[in-house]
Chain A
Amino acid sequence: MKNNNGFILPFGIHIAKRDGISAWKRWMIRSIAILIALLLCAVITILITKMNPITVLRSMFDGTFGAPRKVWKTVYYVAMLLGISLAVTPAFKMRFWNIGAEGQVLIGAFAAAACMFYAGRMPFFNDPSVSMTVKNLILFPCMLIAALAFGALWGFLPAFFKSRWNTNETLFTLMMNYVAMQIVKFMIAYREFPKLLQWSSNGTSVGTINSGFQSVGIGTFAKIADQSGTQYLFPIICIGVLTVLLFVYLKYSKHGYEIAVVGESERTASYAGIKVNRVIVRTMILSGALCGLVGFLIVAAEGTVSHDVVDGRGYTAVMVSWMSQFNPFGMIFSSLLLVFMQFGAKEVVMPDGVSLDKNFANMLMSIILFFIIGCEFFINYKVTVTRYRASFKPAIFFLIVGTVLLHIGGGLLSVFYIIPLLVIAIVLLIIGFAVWLSGLIMLIISIRRKVRIARKKHASAGLEG
């Protein structure tokens, strides 16, 4: 007879798909995952920065919400990430793998910036006698329309090719990102640089199309009562409204229903009389146009464009969308978490004077994402320990391992003044004790069973006799 357990583990692990889980349990699993992730983040923070994680967290918090200006900026960044996430959601709900948000936002931003740039060359916009309000009233709609149109075009192309020739949308949308990026790079280098001095007083802003224009102030959102950060108010409101609208669109509209059916099964959709290709193209135009809208908001709020103005948020947004399972309101929290991590880390200054940067934030973010996404496994599958068979050998093994761990942990305790080692020591002690204890329990159970079996044998032998 073969041994059921290949390894020394005294039990088998059994994985079965769940066919339903209560909402309470689901959130429980998620919270535990986030808790473990935060603990791990804390350990890593200690190891790298040699600082108390609470201090780190506090300075992260200060960095994001410490001052009104910072709050404005954080909320604005959350809104932009949220906006892009909202924009990609209809496509993903349709199972159209649109990873081209990066390019769609960028081309929208570019179109808006181009409007500003060319407007700046027109005499009308340079005429001091025309009021700023009038200039803005003309320029903003132009920028918006241009951004929507270009974003929509960037969404339309892959969808059209997919519906007509069944091309792969993932590759197509990805390539369109580079096209957008190169166009922006080219235009900045070719159009902008020689003429920059015309518009800029200091000429340091190479790499932005309308940097010179910024000082003029048209085409960018005004600050309210000269409060720094208030120029972000309009974009934030815009995205807020968009969140509600998209929620309604996806959940209660006929279009939203069609998107869901197409996403689930194209054959079912055509059976129901839904024109699949039309829905794909329509949804991608919408998705692209919304990306363009975000591009417009970014340009109008920041008054500048460069080839990395989107800064990878087009990809992060895909994650946000999936993490929230396409629920627009859930995305608010996901994007808040991500922006908090990214912004906060920049503000942390290590004892040696070096401040942490984006890379550190990315590391922590990856850990958190790993746990959040990883815990979906435990939501979809049930892992149970089966065939618990305590026997001697593994029990002894556990006892030895536990003892060794306890020893190492105890040894490390003696250098308690080095905080990271102290943490490791404590972790080792806890794990070691757990292993040792389970070894002990296994030993007791196995001895008891042996005794029971022996008794039974004895009894049956007696019966036969």
Chain B
Amino acid sequence: MTSILKITDLHVATPEGKEILRGVNLEIKRGEVHALMGPNGSGKSTLGYAIMGHPGYEVTKGTITLDGQDVLAMEPNQRARAGIFLAFQRPMAIPGVKMADFLRHATTNVRRPDRKEGEELIPMREFRKELTDKMTQLRMDKEFARRYVNEGFSGGEMKRAEILQLAMLRPKFAILDETDSGLDVDAVRLASQSIADIGGREMGILIITHHEHLLEHNRPDYTHVILGGRIVETGGPELAVELHKQGYDRIRAAHPMAAADEAAMKEQSTETIAAH
């Protein structure tokens, strides 16, 4: 049976009560690539965080299920162990923690979801070999494994580190949150190629992006457009091309209510910024 990640009527708000998602519906099957596009502030990243369980985003309504299991009832680490992965747009630096140590813990936990804290990790030799293989495949310098997690990484290095984690954890579903942002065209191509190389096709992928380059090697089966906290249109790969070339004016005109919500959300966030 093919795994399905199903999002139904999802409403998400910040702790201050600001509603960001207003009824998102989305169904991703394992093996499918979905692109999620939309203007800034339309709720793309929020969707990724909500699926992964970020404590700063409150689900006020709706459901997320993975093969019928209630994802919303799970802690973030249980979601990871259930096979969900989020590649962060801005990954956190963890000073003093080596990539290899971090990845060994992560990989062990995800592969042995019932592992209790303090139990054995994947044997060092076995893990090292696999990590080295994956890094070679991704054309990453071996030195990378000894560096501290995301500390002093360039934008490109951070994104590649996320892809390396994706490669090691081999989730059922991956959400790539603007894995292309801050990268030049060549770096985006490399990232795109890498995702395909590590077997992206075996996962269900949700690619959140502004650009079409990331989609080059990962041609989407579906393209969704999010506006004002709702998915307003779904199409094929051609929709991604159109949005990239022509922007969102047509979408706004076709969905005046969502466009109004978008404008309202923007104003709200401007106020929030001003208030700080």
- Do A and B make up one complex? no
Footprint of B on A, CB under 8 Å?
none
Footprint of A on B, CB under 8 Å?
none
